């Protein structure tokens, strides 16, 4: 029993619960900051701990390209790699393939794409995505799906949704066959296991900066990976890439993997405090993803058929892709009512502070979004009185904190005047301090949400959420 | 008595002492990290405290241009502005004028220059530099000097050195007349005081990126301000600049400055613990600067005449500007033997870890350098086994810390493999973690130096310093 979810309290449709994972317990509803490349940009891991971050999201597409899955696996998995001893979730890589890379060819088999870094050619299939996610070793991993574009005709959405269902079964099948290959399963794991259909060919037809521009033009502000092109411009590389993941190999002669020294080898199933440091025999939790565009009946159909594949949790994908927020809310309702009560529900890639509270009221347990971190790097700060743009000259002499209601260490120490100066001067510290504040705001919001559910005061809490947090264009 | 220096122990020429300043006590010998624009790039102030940073350096030239002296003054001075309650030292701005700006005209009166940010025209004189430094409100400020270029003919060096001496007297005279205008002197200070001869004219003849490139070509790696062009590219601004500092005004009708709330108003002269939080009647300490190029007799002459102007401390400037290190050592010896025993000696803009230890052995008490911070942002890390370039592929799978001998929080948590990944991926966190480690290395070196002097083991310590820390090109 590697994954367990229990509901502690409900208030209307809102639920307060606990998810037990190999790397620890997560209190839900939970907001998961995005750490695309194994780092929440500009924030050290000890500060994430201070903030009370319970679980991070890493992007499979980015880590697959750099430093590569086998590299992360050989270093013990994402948690050990990034020195983060708490739970991590990886996405399937599909969303980034659609939004970042030059998509070469989509077939029933999978998707061939070119890296946005160097133009090299790769293929993701349900099998290779799951293999990559097993190699990375997050606690929760996602089935490989197609994120249907928006807007899309009904028939196109139906076909895409049905392919996602077929891919779900292939994802599940591959996971069941290979789940024991996760880096922290036990010490007998072969370092060469894993399966990725990688076709790596030299190619530089699309220099990095062109891809970068295309991405900027085509990707919504809160796309599912957290990159800031203006601050992390890729250096174009001319040489051929190194294939980062080899083909499957179950060669039993390979030596046992060393590296779990310090981990207790004994089993502690059912013991919450102990399971955090004991991985023996534990595996990842694979979540399925409901698609179906903005068609409530297709969402229902997708939800019902996704649930037929018995999995520890279910996500709702393909939302917050440009549709009006009312439509998002309706679509979430359409899907969520067909998801089982006793499994966690993960709404992918959302949202603003008042939106995430609203989704909790719809019965959502998990959310992730680049908004707090990416907005921070653009100087957009969330406060109890609404959003503010720190570079605004009216803050130049403002000795007050970002948010007088906020208890974070940034608000406790620095003035708006200083933070404006840092941002206007393009200082690195602006990125760190702004991000710490925005994450504190999101995480504090979720703490208050959880408390309100426990006290049966969620409806009152929801009423008190002011709506000035407009969507960022 | 706003400033006091006492020597606690000597070992050969090395001295261990304590400097008492309005914002606290500094144990010497001390290394001062550079916080050019009111921030040690990429490192939050609480982390600087954890590292044991005792005193920071701010660059007057940069703060004068952005956010402007009057802005910092109105916000309570640099300490309050950057939420750093410990001592700060500002340089005179002269070095940056020579190295960063387009120098327009040098006269006996001062220097007219164009801002590297927007091409606007400004003038620094001894009087305006001191006025700016009083307005910024650092604990230790520097006389306005000319940093003689290297190499230079003897007569050129003599003339420059003699002008620096005349400028020293003008600096001292202006300081004595206006020293009570420091932001934290008392609450009766007029916010409009200060004197800066600013000639602000619209000008965009030299776009920021051109100046940037010129600066990159012309400035040594460890110039006296800490800027990373590749990460903090200036955005060219077309409009006319706003003059940040007005002409002198002692208008007594201006309202008293508010803003020292929370400071105890009572005097505590001679009480070490209390003086940190009591500024009533305290003023800054003005240091003079010895010049004289690489000519030992001119250095002696400069030292003797600088000391004739009775000041609380003396600096040695114009070194580490491209000369061989043996020449630096000789020149330091030539100057230091004519500086008084009972005053702190500040060697400006040095050096590598083994060099700063060597200078302590020559009798130096204070040093500053951008090397640890700027090198960190270029991925160059100092360790007990020498320097390493973190982007090197040999670290890609290295699970060890940067330096097994280092007790810093970066070495305690992160692997070389992870740090290499962050740097190779151009992640912001690389800048923070690399800088924290390098500062920890420098500060730990100085802690061990101070301990060795106390124990009379400095000579042994010096022998143990390995010389693999080559100068960075």
Higher pLDDT, B242 or A383: A383
Sorting pLDDT into bands at 50, 70 and 90, what band is A464?
Answer: confident
Nearest to B273 by CA among B98, B25, B66: B25
Query: In this predicted model, what pLDDT tens digit does every residue of A366-379 receive, in sequence order?
Result: 999 999 999 999 99
| pLDDT one-digit tens code per residue, A392-406 | 999 999 999 999 999
Q: Are strands A380-383 and A386-389 parallel, antiparallel or unpaired?
A: antiparallel
The Cα-based distances of B182 to B73, B179, B275 in angstroms read 8, 6, 16
The C-alpha of A81 sits at a distance from chain B's nearest C-alpha, in angstroms, of 6
CB contact under 8 A, A37 and B425: yes
Global pTM exceeds 0.90? no
**β-strand A140-142 against A285-290: which pairing, if any?**
parallel
Q: State the DSSP string of A207-220.
A: -HHHHHHHHHHHS-
> Per-residue pLDDT averaged across B178-195, rounded?
65
Which residues have a Cβ under 8 Å from the Cβ of A174 and sit 6 or more positions away? A126, A127, A130, A131, A195
In angstroms, the CA A435 to CA A420 distance is 14
- Lowest average pLDDT, out of A184-193, B35-44, B276-285, B371-380, goes to A184-193
SS3 state of residue B50: helix
- Tell me which of B413 and B253 has the higher pLDDT: B413
Instruction: Write out residues 77-106 of A within 8 Å (CB-CB) of B.
Output: 81-83
- pLDDT of B215 above 50: no
* Residues found in chain B: 473
Q: How far apart are the first and last CA of chain A?
A: 43
Among A294-303, B109-118, B417-426, the range scoring the smallest mean pLDDT is B109-118
The reported pLDDT for the residue numbered B221 is 52
Judged against a pLDDT cut of 80, whether residue B343 lies above it is answered with: yes
Q: Which residues pair with A58 in a beta bridge?
A: A90
Chain B residues within an 8 Å CB radius of A74: 397
Which A-chain residues 381-410 have CB contacts (< 8 A) with chain B?
396-397, 399, 409
Decide if A333 is catalytic: no
| pLDDT digit string, tens, across residues B59-88 | 999 999 999 999 999 999 999 999 999 999
Residue B468, pLDDT above cutoff 80: no
3-class secondary-structure state, position B248: coil
Chain A positions in Cβ-Cβ contact with residue B414 (cut-off 8 Å): 83
Using CB atoms, which residue from B37, B43, B46 is nearest to A409?
A: B46
What pLDDT sits at residue B195? 37
Residues 26-55 of B with CB under 8 A from A: 37-39, 41-46
Average pLDDT over residues B289-307: 98
Q: Report the Cα–Cα distance between both ends of chain B, in Å, rounded.
A: 43
Q: What is the mean pLDDT of residues B284-313?
A: 98
Q: Is the pLDDT of residue B264 over 70?
A: no
> Going by DSSP bridges, is the β-strand pair A24-28/A14-21 parallel, antiparallel, or unpaired?
antiparallel
Question: Catalytic: which of A139, A226, A368, A444?
Answer: A368
Q: What are phi and psi of A38, to 5 degrees?
A: 85, 20
Helices A154-178 and A126-136 cross at an angle (nearest 10°) of: 50
Residues from chain A that touch B434, judged by Cβ atoms under 8 A, are none
Among residues B342, B466, B336, the alpha carbon closest in space to that of B5 is found at B342
Q: Which parts of A160-310 are beta strand (E)?
A: 285-290
Segment A91-100 shows an average pLDDT of 89
Kindly tell me the sign of the dihedral angle through the C-alpha atoms of B323, B325, B326, B329. Answer: positive
pLDDT of residue A229: 44
Each residue of B129-151: pLDDT tens digit?
Answer: 999 999 999 999 999 999 999 99
What is the three-class DSSP state of A180?
Answer: helix
More confident residue, B328 or B185: B328
Residue B28, beta-bridge partner list: B17
pLDDT band at B118 (very low <50, low <70, confident <90, very high): very high
Question: What is the 8-class DSSP label of residue A472?
Answer: P
Interface of A with B in 412-431 (CB under 8 A): 413-415, 417-418, 421-422, 424-429, 431
Torsion of CA B35, B39, B45, B51, to 10 degrees: -30
Would the pLDDT of B450 be above 90? yes
Distance CA B172, CA B185 (A): 18
Instruction: Measure A151 CA to nearest chain B CA, in Å.
Output: 34
Query: A410 to chain B: nearest residue by CA?
Result: B44
pLDDT on residue B188: 39
Range B447-464 average pLDDT: 94
Share of chain A above pLDDT 70, in %: 79
Segment 258-297 of chain A within 8 Å of chain B by CB: 259
> What is the ipTM score, two decimals?
0.85
| A232 touching chain B per CB within 8 A | yes
Per cent of chain B over pLDDT 70 is: 79
User: Catalytic pick from B11, B91, B225, B444?
Assistant: B91
Omega before A62 cis (within 30°)?
no
Is residue B91 annotated as part of the catalytic site, yes or no?
Answer: yes
Quick check: helix, strand or coil at residue A4? strand
At A207, is the pLDDT very low, low, confident or very high (cuts 50, 70, 90)?
A: very low
Q: Which of A144-153, A263-272, B95-104 has the highest mean pLDDT?
A: A144-153
- Which of A39, A82, A429 is closest, CB to CB, to B39? A429
- The pLDDT value recorded for residue A278 is 67
State mean pLDDT over B343-370: 97
pLDDT at res. A54? 98
Residue B330 tokens, joined: 């000789």
The confidence score (pLDDT) of residue A291 equals: 98
Q: Which of B75, B209, B424 to mutate to test the interface with A (most CBs of A within 10 A)?
A: B75
pLDDT score, position A465: 76
User: What is the pLDDT confidence band of residue B269, given thresholds at 50, 70 and 90?
Assistant: very low
* pLDDT, position A280: 80
Q: How many A×B Cβ pairs under 8 Å?
A: 124
- Give the least confident one: A144-153, A273-282, A464-473, B326-335: A464-473
Nearest CA of chain B to the CA of A429: how many Å? 5
**Over the stretch A7-42, which tens digit does the pLDDT of each residue have?**
999 999 999 999 999 999 999 999 999 999 999 999
Tell me the average pLDDT across A464-469. Answer: 58
Q: Which residues of A touch B45 (CB under 8 A)?
A: 413
Confidence of residue B464 (pLDDT cuts 50, 70, 90): confident
Going by pLDDT thresholds of 50, 70 and 90, the confidence category of residue B193 is very low
Per annotation, catalytic residue among B118, B145, B365, B368 = B368
Q: Is pLDDT above 70 for A250?
A: no
Q: What is the mean pLDDT of residues A188-197?
A: 37
- Of chain B, the percentage scoring pLDDT greater than 90 comes to 73
Q: How confident is the model at residue B202 (pLDDT cuts 50, 70, 90)?
A: very low
SS3 B84: coil
Residue B358 has pLDDT above 70, yes or no: yes
Q: Compare CB distances from B427 to A71, A232, A415 and report the shortest one's residue.
A: A232
Whether the Cβ atoms of residue B75 and residue B84 lie closer than 8 Å to each other: no
pLDDT value for B103: 77
How would residue B224 be classed by pLDDT, with cut points 50, 70 and 90?
confident
Is B67 in Cβ contact with A413 (below 8 Å)? no
pLDDT bracket for residue B219 (50, 70, 90): very low
pLDDT at residue A424 greater than cutoff 70:
yes
**Contact residues on chain A for B232, CB-CB shorter than 8 A:** 425-428
pLDDT, one tens digit per residue, over B1-33 is 589 999 999 999 999 999 999 999 999 999 999
Looking at the predicted structure, is the pLDDT value of residue B120 above 80?
Answer: yes
CA distance B132 to B196: 7
pLDDT class of A238 with cuts at 50, 70, 90: very low
What CA–CA distance (Å, rounded) separates A109 from A289? 18
Which residue, among B44, B118, B122, has the nearest Cα to B84 in the 3D structure? B44
Task: With CB atoms and an 8 Å threshold, state whether B235 touches A414.
Answer: no
């Amino acid at each position: 029993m590697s994954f367990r979810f229990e509901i502690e309290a409900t208030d209307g449709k809102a639920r307060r619960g606990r998810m037990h994972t190999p790397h620890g317990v997560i209190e839900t509803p939970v907001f998961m900051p995005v750490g695309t490349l194994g780092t929440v940009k500009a924030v050290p891991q000890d500060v994430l701990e201070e903030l009370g971050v319970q679980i991070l999201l890493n992007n499979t597409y980015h880590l697959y390209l750099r430093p590569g899955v086998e590299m992360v696996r050989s270093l013990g998995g994402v948690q050990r790699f990034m020195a983060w001893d708490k739970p991590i979730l990886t996405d399937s890589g599909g969303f980034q393939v659609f939004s970042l890379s030059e998509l070469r060819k989509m077939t029933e088999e999978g998707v061939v794409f070119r890296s946005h870094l160097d133009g090299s050619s790769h293929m993701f299939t349900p099998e290779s995505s799951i293999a990559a996610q097993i190699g990375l070793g997050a606690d929760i991993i996602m089935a490989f799906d197609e994120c249907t574009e928006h807007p899309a005709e009904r028939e196109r959405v139906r076909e895409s949704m049905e392919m996602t269902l077929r891919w779900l079964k292939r994802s599940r099948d591959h996971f069941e066959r290979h789940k024991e290959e996760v880096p922290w399963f036990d010490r007998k794991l072969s370092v060469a296991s894993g399966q990725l259909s990688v076709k790596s060919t030299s190619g530089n037809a699309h220099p990095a900066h062109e891809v970068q521009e295309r991405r900027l033009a085509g990707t919504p502000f809160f796309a599912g990976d957290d990159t800031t092109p203006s601050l992390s411009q890729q250096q174009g590389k001319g040489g051929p890439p190194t294939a980062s993941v080899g083909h499957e190999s179950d060669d039993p002669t390979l030596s046992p993997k060393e590296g779990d020294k310090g981990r207790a080898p004994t089993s502690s199933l059912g013991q919450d405090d102990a399971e955090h440091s004991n991985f023996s025999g534990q595996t990842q939790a694979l979540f399925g993803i409901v698609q179906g565009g903005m068609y409530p009946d297709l969402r229902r159909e997708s939800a019902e058929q996704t649930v037929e594949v018995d999995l520890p949790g279910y996500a709702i994908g393909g939302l917050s892709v440009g549709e009006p927020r009312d439509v998002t809310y309706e679509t979430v309702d359409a899907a969520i009512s067909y998801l089982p009560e006793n499994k966690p529900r993960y709404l992918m890639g959302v949202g603003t502070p008042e939106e995430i509270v609203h989704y909790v009221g719809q019965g959502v347990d998990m959310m992730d979004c680049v908004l707090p971190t990416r907005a921070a790097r653009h100087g957009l700060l969330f406060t109890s009185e609404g959003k503010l743009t720190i570079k605004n000259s009216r803050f130049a002499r403002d000795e007050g904190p970002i948010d007088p209601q906020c208890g974070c260490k940034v608000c406790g120490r620095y003035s708006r005047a200083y933070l404006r100066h840092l941002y206007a001067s393009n200082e690195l510290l602006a990125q760190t301090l702004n991000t710490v504040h925005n994450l504190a705001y999101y995480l504090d919001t979720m703490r208050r949400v959880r408390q309100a559910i426990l006290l049966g005061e969620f409806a009152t809490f929801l009423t008190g959420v002011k709506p000035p947090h407009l969507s960022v264009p």
